[in-house]
Amino acid sequence: MKRIAIFASGNGSNAENLIAQLGEKEGCSFPIIVCDNLKAGVWERAKKLGVRCVHFSRTELAEGGAVCELLKKEGIDLIVLAGFLGKISGPLLEQFGGHIVNIHPAFYLNLEARGCMGTMCMRRCLLTTNAFRV
């Protein structure tokens, strides 16, 4: 089973849909959501879904050490950026390079992935290709 961490900054609808659509039936578990915004709606959605949500400031995310330690402790295989507005750099890229997926629609246009939106795109990425991995 793939253990996936979702990074979110806003309302959390993408995170909620990923968990609902790709959960155990696709061999995925979502043990943690990382959020850089204490006022984001994703906190309430995570609580409703029973998924742990953890805050890291943008500085902590840029430094990466504490975030990487937590993700390693959780046995995370893949990071999904689901409406995440922070910057991914340094240790996160070193530890998870090739295992970060951005599901922001602007990213799709660069890859000419016609008809590939939201959970359909995530499912395609998880099951068939590395084209969407950072």
Report which secondary-structure segment, H or E, holds 78: strand 78-81
d(CA 109, CA 112): 5
Q: Is 104 a catalytic site residue?
A: yes
Backbone torsions φ then ψ of 62, nearest 5 degrees: -65, -40
* Catalytic site residue from 27, 65, 104, 111: 104
Q: Which of 81, 79, 16 is nearest to 43 (CA)?
A: 16
Residue 76: is it exposed, middle or buried by C-beta count within 10 angstroms (0-12/13-18/19+)? buried
Active site residues: 104
